[in-house]
């Protein structure tokens, strides 16, 4: 497995583990009947499916100790939008002929067991407590891997950073890469506690003056520090290491940074007592070398570009799809359904609409004149930030043919209504304990497969 594939697999595993270990992924059985909350082309999203994802999201925040960061309002709508996006991405992957091999799924399962130090039996037990079968869990893994592939394939080659952009950023943000001056110093400390008598304090002052005289006479600072210093650094010859401004008592700081390498200070009084300081070396401030900060700058620029390109890709998918959200049981006005996207503002690097995309003649993995540098973002969900290589001409033709399909007609809507009624019926049977949770999930899957 390549390094890129390995990284993407780890990203996926984080999300899968959260679903597995985040507590119950099923909402408590209530009296609300199951119903369709969204239609995405020829597929649907059910209320029970939305509840499962919401429960997993809440548990994810709880495990991270960030429950207070969870949005107080609009959580259902936010999660439904995410599920709609995932549906669109998976559908796009199917149009492109993408698939996930069984070997990849089993590899992901093995990694999950290894990272959580559990065996097959323990995994089965955990899934059973979540009222989830192994096949259902493997299907979750399959979808997440597919989403990773699709988003990567459609966005990655559009997220490039040129040498000029990196150097321009470095020039405009030099202060962000500045190096503070540093001084390597030693000190001898005579502690003046409040509990000391005047005679004891006078004695320490006298000793400090005598030690300073010894230093002036050429005795070694390190040896005198070991003998007289009352600081924990005494055994190291008073070594304080490299110091920066803003990290010590201001009176001591001013003295230390005024000395040159090899110089010894006079007696310095601070709230801690009396110090004698020696500077061993001085590192002047400056700016970090460009080559040292290049990777950091590239990551910043790639992250910004990737988010812009991803939003453009998703906007194109939504524009060419039939999407109907029924979260409140009613068809929302067109203006309201698009408000979330509108709030994101204009895109700085707009991608051409899917239906107008044409092959550039550049082979996948090769850069055109307007393209820049590769990216490998580290997340596939919430927010989705992954990447991949460009489409070939043949793949564009396949996508264009599929996109020319007409939207679902009344017959399709009738099928949706029939499925919705049947979903309500089997959920009521489960709530009345006529059928088990496992049977309910099986029947539900069979119903959805008919769409």
Q: How far apart are CA 183 and CA 185, in angstroms?
A: 6
Three-class SS of residue 139?
helix
Q: How far apart are CA 278 and CA 81, in angstroms?
A: 63
pLDDT at 328: 76
What DSSP designation does 355 have? G
Dmax over CA atoms of the chain, in Å, equals 103
What DSSP designation does 282 have? E
- What average pLDDT score do residues 94-103 get? 92
Q: Which of 337, 228, 216 is nearest to 274 (CA)?
A: 228
Q: Is the dihedral angle over the CA atoms 284, 289, 292, 295 positive or is it negative?
A: positive
Options 1.20.1630.10, 3.30.460.10, 1.10.4030.10, 3.40.50.300; CATH of 3-160+295-449: 1.10.4030.10
Would the pLDDT of 413 be above 60?
no
pLDDT at 392: 40
Q: Are 84 and 45 in contact (CB under 8 A)?
A: yes
Q: Which of 354, 368, 450 is nearest to 397 (CA)?
A: 354
Strand 178-179 versus strand 286-287 pairing type:
antiparallel
pLDDT at 290: 93
Of 52-66, 149-163, 264-278, 370-384, highest mean pLDDT? 264-278
Would the pLDDT of 148 be above 60?
yes
The residue to which tokens 């029939």 are assigned? 418
User: How far is C-alpha 114 from the chain's CA centre?
Assistant: 22
Q: How far apart are CA 161 and CA 387, in angstroms?
A: 14
- What average pLDDT score do residues 31-36 get? 69
**Considering the chain, what percentage of its residues have pLDDT values greater than 70?**
73
Would the pLDDT of 144 be above 60?
yes
Would the pLDDT of 351 be above 80?
no
Tell me the pLDDT tens digit for each residue of 415-448.
Answer: 667 777 778 787 777 777 777 777 777 777 777 7
Would the pLDDT of 387 be above 60?
no
- What average pLDDT score do residues 169-191 get? 93
pLDDT at 133: 86
Tokens at 41, concatenated: 């082309």
- Higher pLDDT, residue 393 or 284: 284
pLDDT at 415: 66
Tell me the pLDDT tens digit for each residue of 257-283.
Answer: 999 999 999 999 999 999 999 999 999
**Considering the chain, what percentage of its residues have pLDDT values greater than 90?**
47
Would the pLDDT of 223 be above 80?
yes
User: Would you place residue 411 in the very low, low, confident or very high pLDDT band (cuts 50, 70, 90)?
Assistant: low
Quickly count: other Cβ atoms within 10 Å of residue 160's Cβ. 19
Mean pLDDT of the chain: 76
Would the pLDDT of 370 be above 70?
no
Q: Are 103 and 405 in contact (CB under 8 A)?
A: no
pLDDT at 347: 38
Would the pLDDT of 57 be above 70?
yes
- Higher pLDDT, residue 398 or 385: 398
The structural domains of the chain, with segments of one domain joined by +, span 3-160+295-449, 181-284
Q: Which of 104, 23, 14, 30 is nearest to 57 (CA)?
A: 23
DSSP 227-262: HH--SGGGGGTTEEEEE-TTSS-HHHHHHHTTPPTT
Angle at 306 between CA 304 and CA 310, to 5 degrees: 125
- Higher pLDDT, residue 413 or 39: 39
Beta bridge partners of 243: 183
- Higher pLDDT, residue 446 or 90: 90
User: Would you place residue 211 in the very low, low, confident or very high pLDDT band (cuts 50, 70, 90)?
Assistant: very high
Domains 3-160+295-449 and 181-284 share a fold: no
Angle at 185 between CA 183 and CA 191, to 5 degrees: 135
Q: How far apart are CA 264 and CA 255, in angstroms?
A: 10
pLDDT at 186: 95
pLDDT at 401: 42
Q: How far apart are CA 362 and CA 390, in angstroms?
A: 9
Would the pLDDT of 381 be above 50?
no
Of 11-15, 323-327, 335-339, 357-361, highest mean pLDDT? 323-327
CATH topology assigned to domain 181-284: Chitinase A; domain 3 (3.10.50)
Kindly report which listed range (67-71, 275-279, 340-344) carries the lowest average pLDDT score.
340-344
pLDDT at 330: 57
User: Would you place residue 66 in the very low, low, confident or very high pLDDT band (cuts 50, 70, 90)?
Assistant: confident
Three-class SS of residue 407?
coil
Tokens at 39, concatenated: 């239609």
What DSSP designation does 189 have? E
Would the pLDDT of 165 be above 50?
yes
User: Would you place residue 46 in the very low, low, confident or very high pLDDT band (cuts 50, 70, 90)?
Assistant: very high
- What average pLDDT score do residues 162-188 get? 93
Kindly report which listed range (34-43, 137-146, 361-370, 379-388) carries the lowest average pLDDT score.
379-388
Q: Are 150 and 86 in contact (CB under 8 A)?
A: no
């Amino acid at each position: 497995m390549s390094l890129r594939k390995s990284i993407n697999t780890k990203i996926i595993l984080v999300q899968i583990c959260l679903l597995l270990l985040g507590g119950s992924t099923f909402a408590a059985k209530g009296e609300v009947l199951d119903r369709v909350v969204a239609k995405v082309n020829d597929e649907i999203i059910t209320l029970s499916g939305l509840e499962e994802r919401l429960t997993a999201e809440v548990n994810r925040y709880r495990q991270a100790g960030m429950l207070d960061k969870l949005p107080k309002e609009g959580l259902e709508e936010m999660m439904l939008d995410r599920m709609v996006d995932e549906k669109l991405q998976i559908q796009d992957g199917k149009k492109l002929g993408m698939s996930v091999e069984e070997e990849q799924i089993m590899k992901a399962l093995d990694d999950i067991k290894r990272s959580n130090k559990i065996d097959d039996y323990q995994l089965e037990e955990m899934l059973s407590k979540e009222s989830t079968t192994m096949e259902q869990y493997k299907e979750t893994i399959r979808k997440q891997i597919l989403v990773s592939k699709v988003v990567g394939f459609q966005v990655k080659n559009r997220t490039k950073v040129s040498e000029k952009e990196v150097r321009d950023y470095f020039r405009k943000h030099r202060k962000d890469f500045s190096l503070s001056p540093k001084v390597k110093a030693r000190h001898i400390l005579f502690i003046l506690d409040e509990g000391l008598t005047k005679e004891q304090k006078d004695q320490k002052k006298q000793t400090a003056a005598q030690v300073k005289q010894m230093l002036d006479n050429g005795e070694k600072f390190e040896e005198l520090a070991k003998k007289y210093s009352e600081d924990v650094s005494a055994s190291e010859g008073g070594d304080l290491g490299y110091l920066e401004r803003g990290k010590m008592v201001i009176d001591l700081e001013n003295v230390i940074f005024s000395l040159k390498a090899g110089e010894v200070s006079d007696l310095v009084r601070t709230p801690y007592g009396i110090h004698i300081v020696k500077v061993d070396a001085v590192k002047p401030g400056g700016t970090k070398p460009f080559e040292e900060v290049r990777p950091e700058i590239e990551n910043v620029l790639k992250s910004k570009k990737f988010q812009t390109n991803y939003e453009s890709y998703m906007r194109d998918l939504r524009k060419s799809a039939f999407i109907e959200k029924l979260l409140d049981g009613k068809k929302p006005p067109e203006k309201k359904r698009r408000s979330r996207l509108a709030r994101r503002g204009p895109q700085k690097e707009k991608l051409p609409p899917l239906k107008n995309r044409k092959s550039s003649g550049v082979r996948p993995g090769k850069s055109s004149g307007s393209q820049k540098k590769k990216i490998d973002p580290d997340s596939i969900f919430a927010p989705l930030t992954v990447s991949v290589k460009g489409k070939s001409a043949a793949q564009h033709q396949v996508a264009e043919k599929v996109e020319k399909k007409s939207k679902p007609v009344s017959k399709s809507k009738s099928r949706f209504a029939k499925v919705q009624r049947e979903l309500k019926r089997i959920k009521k049977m489960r709530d009345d304990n006529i059928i088990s949770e496992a049977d309910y999930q099986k029947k539900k899957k069979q119903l959805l497969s008919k769409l």
